[in-house]
Structure 1
Amino acid sequence: MREVDTMTTDGSRGSELNAIDPYVVYVGHLSQGHCPPHGDAFLPRNTKWYELELIMDGGGYIDSPGSRSSAFKGRLFFRKPGMRVQGFPPYSSYYILFGMRADSAFSTSFAEQPPGIEQLYGEEPADKASISAVCFPEVTDVQDCREWEKLCRDMHHEFISNGGNNQFYLKTRVLQLLVYLWEHRKSGQQVLPSAHGPAIMKVKATIDREPFARYELAKLARQAGMSRSFFCSRFAEVVGLPPIAYVNDVRIYHAKGLLLQTGLSVNEIADTCGFATVTYFFRVFKRLVGLTPLQYRLQSLYKSKPRSDSL
């Protein structure tokens, strides 16, 4: 008999989700330059608020009660108040601290005098974990890291510019992240669908860090400690794309930026991004973007050109 999802049939849990009205108290960015020296660790801490933390880069890990999770690019952590957490760098991240239900008294005092970062952590939870944590997985590997990186980066920019005053914008973004986590939990997906996930994620981190390097499947497989065929199947299982397809995807992402932000020729961009030939670059770009590189550049220039409309 098929198990029925309690998320939609359990009225109490459904009402919990419907009651979510987040209030963002802080959005921060942790760079590797602000981490303790390699080999050291952050001091252990207790979470005071709900937290979302998206790892942007690194190779460290994070300890929480009963588990140790690698801190790789694209890993999203959800934490409830009162959790014991300790980070072991190197890694960089965006992190969001928030309450699940807006508190008018707190929001008024927060708007008048926002607390310093040192006041946002402590032994006593500020939010009493009013929403059941089972609604959201504690660790998730996001499928499109660039999309969520942009969301977090925009949130950070908004918070740096205006503090917590634009709660409409900030809470909408938090809800986007929570919906993603909720749907991920409903789907029954595991954090890493393979026991070889950590080794695969190390290879992925290498590609993310050096996307223009020359890669050979045999060398990547050796880095992961696997045979070539086994590595290819496990990489596709964990990352969602075969290794070469993932390399091309990352390179085309950077190529699009170079087309829009520089005056480099298509030949120069193809070479810069690690493509063996311009023909291959054109073929991959057209398949992934739907346009040739020149069409993409011209279309973007046309869209950005101001128009003078007259009545």
Structure 2
Amino acid sequence: MNGVLNLLKPPAMTSSDVVFHVRRILGQKKVGHTGTLDPGAAGVLPVCIGRATKIADYIMHGDKEYIAEITFGMETDTQDSYGRVTRVSEGDITRKQLESILPGFTGKLLQKPPMYSAIKHEGKKLYELARKGITVEKPPREVYVHKLELIRGMQNRFLLRIRCSKGTYIRSLCADIGRGLSACAHMSFLMRTETCGFRAEDAYTLPEIEELAGGGKAAAVVQPMEQAVSFLETLRCDPYLYRFLTNGTPVDLGKANLRVQADTNYAVYCKDELIGIGKKAGNTLKLVSMLKELGDSRR
């Protein structure tokens, strides 16, 4: 089985837990998720199976969309509702006040990674250090918030819709918004509604997948790799290039009839088959991820 499963992760389960359950349900060894979602959060978690694990990084780098609840009046050490309260503030934040500050948190931002995160420092994850009371100052990272919209709410509790780049911490965004209003704030709810085109309304829960697997129908809900890489630019090569591509030989762009942009990942097709992910390297097209089994590449 090769493809991507659009899974709806429940709260109180880690992304690694999800992978464990999918392996068990589908009887597949090669399974990987496409980016950690906080244990307390719910939402879309695409899971790659078989050869599709090679495209996990490409899906992971796509934009994300979230629905988050920001609650004012309290900060925690984890920046969400599961942490220890570290600071409180008095007074109510109004809808008008919140709306006035949101534009300042869109576009390119420098965001300091939270201590309770999976980012590593000298081989240790930050949350492992944080649990031991060790604090590490990591340099701010550049993220991009495409859209930040107030959906509804009043008197210190508001729902936000956020569309952002990979690596954006919504917990940190909520805490920073609070500080921007001279108040304390934390993220009290989070649901990821989309990642790289995989949407929550199309996702399946683990019990649904288990039921389908019991009836021998699980493969029907696994997106084929051709569909899973549809967010990439497509490059269709002449049939004579088939043996070069399937052997991993770089294609001379000066001789081939191909227009390839630098710093762009392409889903490379030849003879109507998805061969792999290609990228320009000098004056050649090089496959950086082979998606076709070499066993069926000889024609």
The TM-score normalised by the length of structure 1 is 0.24
The structure in which a higher percent of residues are helix is: 1
Higher relative contact order (CA closer than 8 Å, sequence separation 6+): 2
TM-score by length of 2: 0.24
Larger strand percent: 2
